[in-house]
């Protein structure tokens, strides 16, 4: 997820960079409050400050100050470019609520010291500087909840796995394969040596159209190349390095992707989006707080990583007991109830017309068919 923060510059270049950073975060003294949208208002009981600790997430911290935690880019004055290129926040920093200017800042309101609120300077060697800083930064949302979905399972278009290498054979005594077993793979490896193994899985049905828009390939484990096929040999030798399900002949291999950036800055989609919940990560028909769901909209529909959608139960059409009656008292009129907003959805992985989202702050369970749309 893309993360928002500020501590990198300080450790990299010392107090001069820290002063520049404070200037970046702070608005001019005469500026109007950043948060002007009604949905991005501060909480009446917002604290004056918060000390960042290791288990914090940016969503949690922002929830202490804001009615809607996803609004924090607005109160930090971040533009779209800054949302795409996140900054980092670290334990030990102090976040202040500047009530006069309606913003959050790392500098104590009214303080002349640009280093106020920043942790002590840490000298890092150039070789480990970036790695150490990113490792210590706090995440936007709980990374453990979405980590398995950053690279798997995989949404695939029809035929997308057809050209992928496949497990063509296994030792005669093995029907299903587990860690340490030898497997034989047929297909072009294109120079890769480490692979994830998938099995074509359940169809993803669009609740609006009733059509299958994609399939979700089930992640079953990983495999490593031992020896490429030599002259006169049709298969490569692999070993299973991990398995979460039984692996078998016919399963497909895809190169292990690099671990994506896990810190995302939340924001409203660039254009209005209305999506529907079409699948749950679990076998249940319901999802609750911090569970993953699949929606029927993706990058081609205006979603990107970090988009926040509001969740609604569709309003039902019910009989109006006091409405007009037809002949002989039959044909009571009906009335359409409003859609009820009950939570928010944080989009963290996006495909063409499908996305994964993390359920946030729900007051009711999420159901298949529920609406997820741009904040109003």
Mapped onto helix, strand or coil, the DSSP state of residue 292 is strand
Please provide the average confidence, as pLDDT, over all residues in the chain. 75
Could you tell me how many helices (H) and strands (E) the chain has, helices first? 7, 21
Which value, in Å, is the radius of gyration of the alpha carbons in the chain?
25
Q: Which residues pair with 182 in a beta bridge?
A: 239
More confidently predicted of 46 and 24: 46
Helix (H), strand (E) at residue 75:
helix 72-75
Residue 175 has a pLDDT of: 67
Residue 177 has a pLDDT of: 81
pTM for the full predicted model: 0.65
- Two tokens at 70? 């996803």
- Two tokens at 259? 């671990």
Q: Dihedral through CA 6, CA 9, CA 14, CA 16, nearest 10?
A: -90
Residue 35 has a pLDDT of: 38
Indicate the DSSP class of residue 301: G
Residue 59 phi, psi (nearest 5): -65, -45
With contact defined as beta carbons under 8 Å apart, do 338 and 313 qualify?
no
Least confident of 133-142, 201-210, 286-295: 133-142
- Two tokens at 352? 């063409």
Distance CA 88, CA 139 (A): 9
pLDDT confidence band for 144 (50 / 70 / 90): low
Range picked from 36-40, 147-151, 159-163, 285-289 for highest mean pLDDT: 285-289
With contact defined as beta carbons under 8 Å apart, do 177 and 183 qualify?
yes
Residues in the chain: 376
SS3 content of the chain, % helix, strand, coil (to 5): 15, 30, 55
Residue 78 has a pLDDT of: 60
Alpha helix stretches (DSSP H) within the chain: 8-13, 15-25, 58-65, 72-75, 80-84, 129-136, 143-151
pLDDT tens per residue, range 307-358: 899 999 887 777 777 766 555 555 568 887 888 889 899 998 898 889 999 9
- Two tokens at 100? 């006069």
Would the CA dihedral through 263, 265, 269, 273 be positive or negative?
Answer: positive
Q: Which domains does the chain have, with CATH numbers?
A: 8-140 (no CATH), 154-255 (no CATH), 274-373 (2.40.10.410)
Q: With 90 as the cut, is the pLDDT of residue 303 above it?
A: yes
pLDDT confidence band for 8 (50 / 70 / 90): very low
Helix (H), strand (E) at residue 219:
strand 212-227
């Amino acid at each position: 997820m893309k993360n928002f923060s500020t501590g990198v510059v300080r450790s990299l270049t010392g107090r001069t960079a820290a002063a520049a950073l404070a200037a970046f975060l702070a608005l001019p003294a005469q500026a109007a409050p950043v948060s002007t949208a009604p949905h991005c208002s501060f909480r009446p009981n917002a604290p004056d400050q918060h000390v960042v600790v290791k288990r914090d997430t940016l969503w949690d911290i922002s929830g202490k100050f804001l009615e809607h935690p996803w609004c924090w880019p607005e109160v930090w004055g971040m533009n779209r470019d800054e949302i795409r290129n996140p900054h980092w926040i670290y334990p030990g920093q102090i976040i202040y609520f500047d009530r006069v200017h309606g913003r959050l800042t790392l500098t104590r309101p009214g303080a002349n010291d640009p280093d106020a609120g920043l942790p002590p300077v840490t000298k890092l060697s150039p070789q480990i500087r970036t790695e150490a800083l990113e490792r210590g930064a706090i995440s936007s949302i709980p990374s453990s909840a979405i980590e398995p979905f950053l690279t798997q399972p995989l949404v695939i278009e029809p035929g997308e796995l057809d050209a992928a290498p496949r497990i063509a054979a296994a030792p005669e005594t093995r029907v299903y394969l587990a860690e340490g077993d030898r497997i034989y793979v047929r297909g072009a490896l294109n120079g890769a040596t480490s692979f994830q193994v998938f099995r074509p899985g359940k169809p993803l049905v669009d609740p609006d159209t009733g059509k299958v828009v994609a399939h979700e390939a089930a992640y079953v484990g990983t495999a490593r190349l031992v020896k490429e096929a030599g002259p006169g040999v049709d298969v490569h030798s692999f070993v299973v390095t991990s398995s979460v399900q039984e692996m078998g002949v016919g399963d497909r291999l895809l190169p292990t992707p690099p671990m994506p950036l896990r810190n995302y800055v939340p924001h409203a989609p660039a254009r209005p989006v209305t999506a529907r919940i079409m699948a749950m990560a679990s076998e249940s028909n319901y999802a609750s707080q911090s569970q993953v769901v699949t929606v029927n909209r993706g990058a081609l529909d205006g979603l990107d990583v970090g988009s926040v959608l509001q969740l609604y139960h569709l309003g039902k059409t019910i009989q109006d007991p006091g409405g007009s009656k037809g002949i002989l008292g039959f044909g009571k009129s009906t009335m359409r109830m409003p859609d009820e907003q009950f939570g928010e959805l944080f989009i963290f992985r996006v495909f063409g017309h499908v996305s994964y989202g993390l359920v946030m702050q729900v007051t009711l369970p999420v159901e298949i068919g529920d609406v997820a749309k741009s904040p109003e």
